[in-house]
Amino acid sequence: MDKKRVLLLLILLTLVWFSCSTLSYAADTAPNHEGIVNLRILETTDLHADLVNYDYYQTKVDNRIGLIKTATLIHEARNEVKNSLLFDDGDHLKGNPLGEYLARIRGMHKGKTHPVYRAFNYLQYDAIAIGNHEFNYGLAFLKTALKGLKMPAINANVFSVKKNKPYFPPYVILKKKVVDQNDKQHELHIGVIALMPTQIMKWDKANLEGKVIARPMVETAKEFVPIMKAKGADIIIALAHTGISSDTYNPETENAVYYLTQIPEIDAILSGHSHSVFPGPVFIDLPNTNMETGQINRKPVVMAGAFGSRLGVIDLTLSNTEGKWKVVNSTSFTRPIADENGKSLVKTDKKLYKLIKTEHEETVDFIKKLGL
């Protein structure tokens, strides 16, 4: 074999070796997406019975409000991802003439489903929080209304005086089938806890005194979160019907989200009550807050205004290491149903409108009869 042939053979062997080693290196260093799950969490809050894009006080259409508009955003947000959850953060039964008509004129009857809960059933919420205004019509009305609900209604810090235990289920652990970035299926155990301000004992004293007591939100969360973890919750979401403030905390603090973010085991917080928007300019000076990612103390938080005007969204990236799930990235934002001038940005969910049309029209007719 002459020198030229030997040299050519050596070059070919070198190229083959380099090619194989490069492929091997690429295989070793390629990102492994197994166990990486993208999970979208959706929030409505403080609907105050605004199911329809209609202002009963001025008897005209108002495209800045209404769950029949928010519903379209819900459908769109779900269709964009493989894994999602939907929650309501409370204050959904009272706040407009529809709510008043149903509670004080028509009443709740056995076997009938409140239109707000009919809407929730149709949209397939995963769980809802009890807000402070749910007590405004009394515990009997609330109990009757809740019978028509097809998902858990929870609250952890309102306790029965008689039984000395939570008046409602304090939390729920949802077993959710999710797929990772390689389309492999996993079962995720999602703990969900709900809280509300202790001020309900003043605001609804006539309805609640002697029947329930309200315990501080942060202390209650610290009590139940370890229990949820012990029962297998992979991640924990707080439905916090409370606003956002960094004012010094005390057990009677009304807006406690900032301090709930400091509880290590809570992974995401859906907030409400104060009708604000987070992330948003109102909170630009809040300490330890990232407006671009929607994080407070490095925890994802969202607040979707009120009356169905916005949909709250938290996108989580979860990683599974040795059987344990951990949030490795998050982004929070809201989507509006109308622009700043009140021009609608989304279509009406016609199926939902048909489901609640009867009560809406009854309310409009009642207002007309009163000559308002």
Burial class (CB in 10 A: 0-12, 13-18, 19+), 274: buried
Residue 12 has pLDDT above 80, yes or no: no
Burial class (CB in 10 A: 0-12, 13-18, 19+), 22: exposed
Residue 84 binned pLDDT confidence (cut-offs 50, 70, 90)? very high
Percent of residues, the chain, with pLDDT higher than 90:
87
User: What number is the average pLDDT over the span 8-34?
Assistant: 44
The pLDDT value given to residue 102:
94
Q: Against a cut of 0.75, is the pTM above it? A: yes
The pLDDT value given to residue 5:
56
Q: What is the rounded CA–CA span in Å between residue 362 and residue 346?
A: 26
User: What number is the average pLDDT over the span 11-28?
Assistant: 42
> Over the stretch 295-338, which tens digit does the pLDDT of each residue have?
999 999 999 999 999 999 999 999 998 889 999 999 999 999 99
What does CATH list as the number for 33-370?
3.60.21.10
Residue 90 DSSP one-character state: S
* CB environment 335-358: b (16+ within 10 A), e (fewer): bbbbeeeeebebebbeebbebbee
Angle between helices 67-79 and 350-370 (to 10 degrees): 170
The pLDDT value given to residue 2:
57
- The region of weakest confidence among 30-39, 210-219, 238-247, 363-372 is 30-39
Kindly report the average pLDDT of the chain as a whole number.
Answer: 92
What DSSP string runs through 108-140?
Answer: --TT---HHHHHHHHHT-SEEEPPGGGGTT-HH
User: What number is the average pLDDT over the span 248-253?
Assistant: 96
Residue 166 DSSP one-character state: B
Domain boundaries, the chain: 1-30, 33-370
